[in-house]
Structure 1
Amino acid sequence: MPSPCDSKYAPAGDVGAALMMIDSRLKSIYSGKSGTDPEQQQLTDQFTASLGPEEANDLVDGACTLIYMYVQWLRMAHEDQDTDVIEYVVPGFVASMRLMRKSVRPEVIPTMVGMIVAAATGLSPNLWRKQYGDWTGDEMNSLEATALLLAEHINRLTGDNDFATRIITEALYRSDED
Structure 2
Amino acid sequence: MEHVKYNLESNHNNYKVIDLYTDGFNPAYDQEELRLFHSGQTHDLLVKEYLTDLKQATNLIIISPVWWNDLPAILKGFIDKVMKEGPDLTHVVTPTGIKGLLTNLNSAYVFTSSTSPTFYLKLFCGNAIKRVFIDSTLKQIGVKKTKWNNFGKISTSKKADRLKYLKKIDTLKLIF
What's the TM-score, normalizing by structure 2? Answer: 0.34
More helix per residue: 1
Quick check: which has more Rg, 1 or 2?
A: 2
**Structure with more contact order per residue of length (Cα contacts < 8 Å, sep ≥ 6):** 1
What's the TM-score, normalizing by structure 1? Answer: 0.33
